[in-house]
Amino acid sequence: MNVIGAILDLLFPPKCAFCRRVVDGAAVCRACEKSLPWTKGEESLRTGADELVCAAPLFYEGTVRDALLRLKFHGADHLAPPLGELLARCAAERFSGEFDAVTWVPVGPGRLKKRGYDQARLLAESACRLWGTAPERLLVKNGDNPAQSGLTDAAARRANVLGMYEIAPGAQVAGRRILLIDDICTTGSTLTECVRTLRSGGAERVFCAVVARTRPEEETQRAGAEKS
Ligand SMILES: [Zn+2]
């Protein structure tokens, strides 16, 4: 490490993304490494009736949920590198050699202005740094729909994102195998809409990766609530 790096570490020691204990270069402290709600085996790959294929290292609950909310709504952009590292590890295990482009689910222009950054883009950049590459802007969002997090019903979430995305001007999509990165997957509505958009732009395949997903039983509950 260079001198400036060493001084910065002394002044702002790296902290665990989840409990904020000081860590020694790792994304996660040892206590969290043991206690976090990691997805195990097949749980780390969400495959559903919607044909979405999405890798996720963690379940969206407890301290994981807190960390992602801090990243998304409370300006904690310093959480993108450690969280992006966990996402990258899981995506590499699941899709190694299967994609030739990396992109992200963009936020709308109004929200970007308010927040100052696009959290999914930061996660994609963090993951790509580890892979020695860079993400490409392949999608743009048309305006700002109401936040998905404010909608619990799956049908309402699907309707809320329908037609919200399009291929970015000049983006090369046709024939490519794309890894699409976002922070969270709950009902999968946003990712499904982005995959549909990329496929209609000629993408050969689209794989998704997020930091955290909801548990399968929560998705079933949502689907059940939708039918009744
Ligand atoms: Zn920790």
SS3 of 97-144: the string is CCCCEEEECCCCHHHHHHHCCCHHHHHHHHHHHHHCCCCCCCEEECCC
pLDDT tens sequence across 137-161: 999 999 888 887 778 788 888 888 8
Give the C-alpha separation, 67 to 184, whole Å.
11
Among residues 82, 45, 208, 89, the alpha carbon closest in space to that of 139 is found at 208
Tell me which DSSP letter residue 148 carries. G
pTM value is 0.89
CATH number for the domain formed by residue range(s) 37-227: 3.40.50.2020
Q: What is the pLDDT of residue 14?
A: 82
CA-based diameter of the chain, in Å? 62
Enclosing H/E stretch for 8: helix 3-11
**Sheet with strand 184-185: strands edge to edge:** 58-59, 212-213, 184-185
Give the C-alpha separation, 9 to 27, whole Å.
14
Ligand 1 geometric centre to CA of 22 (Å) = 8
* Tokens 């993108």, residue located: 80
Per DSSP, the three-state class of 153 is coil
Ligand 1 geometric centre to CA of 61 (Å) = 15
Ligand 1 geometric centre to CA of 28 (Å) = 5
pLDDT tens sequence across 49-103: 667 999 999 999 999 999 999 999 899 999 999 999 999 999 999 999 999 999 9
Contacts of 76 (CB under 8 A, 6+ apart): 67, 70
Average of pLDDT values for 189-210? 96
Ligand 1 geometric centre to CA of 68 (Å) = 14
Ligand 1 geometric centre to CA of 83 (Å) = 12
Enclosing H/E stretch for 95: helix 80-95
Domain ranges of the chain: 37-227
Ligand 1 geometric centre to CA of 188 (Å) = 28
What dihedral angle (degrees, nearest 10) is formed by the CA atoms of 93, 98, 103, 104? -50
